[in-house]
Amino acid sequence: MKVAILSNYATWALEGRPGYRPDVRRHPAPWVANLAHALARLGTIEVHVITQTDEIEHDMEAESQGVRLHFLRCPRRLRAATLFVFDCERLRRALRRIQPDLVHSHGTEDAYTIAALKSGYPAIMTMQGLQFKITKHVKSPWFSRMRLMQTLEQWCLRRVRHIIAKSEHVAESVAPLAPQAEIYRIPNAMNPVFFENTARATSGEPQRLLFGGIIAPVKGLQHLVAALNLLRPRQPGVKLAIVGVPGRGSEGYFESIRKQIRALRLEEAIEFRGFQRPENMAREMAQASVVIVPSLHEMFCNMVAEAMAVGRPVVASRVGSLPELVDDGRTGLLVPSADPESLAAAIERLLADEPLRTRMGLAAAEKARRLWDPQQVAR
């Protein structure tokens, strides 16, 4: 069987090639690589990934762990303004060269699912972001790219026949919008490096917190900074590591976070660690005692699953799919979203109780291996 995956994808396999200019702001969608590699390891599927990027001067191909990678050069701007017409044609040409038995697209916020539905090949879509929910939490003008993505999402949901939902929250959210579709509940697959980390037997540095992922308004980082400010008088040694970079279009939000940190005089308590690949992210998590996810909405949240695989308790907002991932009181703690006081109290509870952190971390690691091991998901 030959499967073509259409999605954002990390371009790391192109390192060292002439004409390649990496941009860490481009989302690497690591869950796609985890799934592609696991499918290839089954030995019965020929896996192709087709992705578009403006990091290259011309189309390139590569291979990684048995997966054939097709990188298509695309412009950075004016793609959405054309309703992805040129993107769809570019992707269709690549599909015709591969002749897949199945096209698996990820997300409605780019051209991938539109191209899959117009390709003429059997297609299945994994929901990546619920734009109609995100726009409720993140202010955006009516004529913004985000609003356009919401319209295109509705177009895709009315036409797709098969949908993969990463969580029950996603399944329940899309079912009324796609009554014609068969919905399959399949979570994201995690990178094996998070399961291989041996630090789960310890509880990390006692007062080190970690926030990770793309820095964007929906991630609610401003509420974590406010919570840290409340926590510092009672826990003067607490430190926060922020691992990640602003996504494209979120540079203004990132600067507002920096201004907030300066205004609260928290520069010495917060360290920006930049973009980290999975191997380094696993080490960052192992060094922390608690991982914080203050999001305003989440469809799945790899950061939670990765932290649990490493064996770290998570303090997360009670929104979206997060209550499905975090068992409140067993693998972590859930708090109301956009509530710095509750967030600070939950963090303080875990920082003050190392045996509780250890018990939660062990329970988290067990749940992660049972649900999100890549070979388990691939099957």
User: Is 290 strand, coil or helix?
Assistant: strand
Q: Which residues in the chain are classed under CATH 3.40.50.2000?
A: 2-185, 192-372
For 329-339, the pLDDT digits (tens) are 999 999 999 99
* Nearest CA-CA partner of 104 in 127, 128, 123: 123
The more confidently predicted of residues 75 and 50 is 50
Q: CA-to-CA distance for 311 and 220, rounded, in angstroms?
A: 23
Decide: 87 and 106 in contact? Cβ < 8 Å.
no
> What integer pLDDT is reported at residue 83 of this predicted model?
81
Question: What's the topology of domain 192-372?
Answer: Rossmann fold (3.40.50)
Q: CA-to-CA distance for 203 and 255, rounded, in angstroms?
A: 32
For 121-159, the pLDDT digits (tens) are 999 999 987 777 776 766 666 556 677 778 889 999 999
Distances (CA, A) of 221 to 4, 217, 232: 35, 7, 17
Q: CA-to-CA distance for 204 and 8, rounded, in angstroms?
A: 33
For 175-186, the pLDDT digits (tens) are 999 999 999 999
Total residues belonging to the chain: 379
> What integer pLDDT is reported at residue 206 of this predicted model?
86
Residue in the structure block whose two tokens are 């090639």: 17
Question: What's the topology of domain 2-185?
Answer: Rossmann fold (3.40.50)
Quick check: 204 pLDDT over 80? no
Q: CA-to-CA distance for 336 and 332, rounded, in angstroms?
A: 14
**Residue 106 half-sphere exposure toward CB, CA atoms < 13 A:** 24
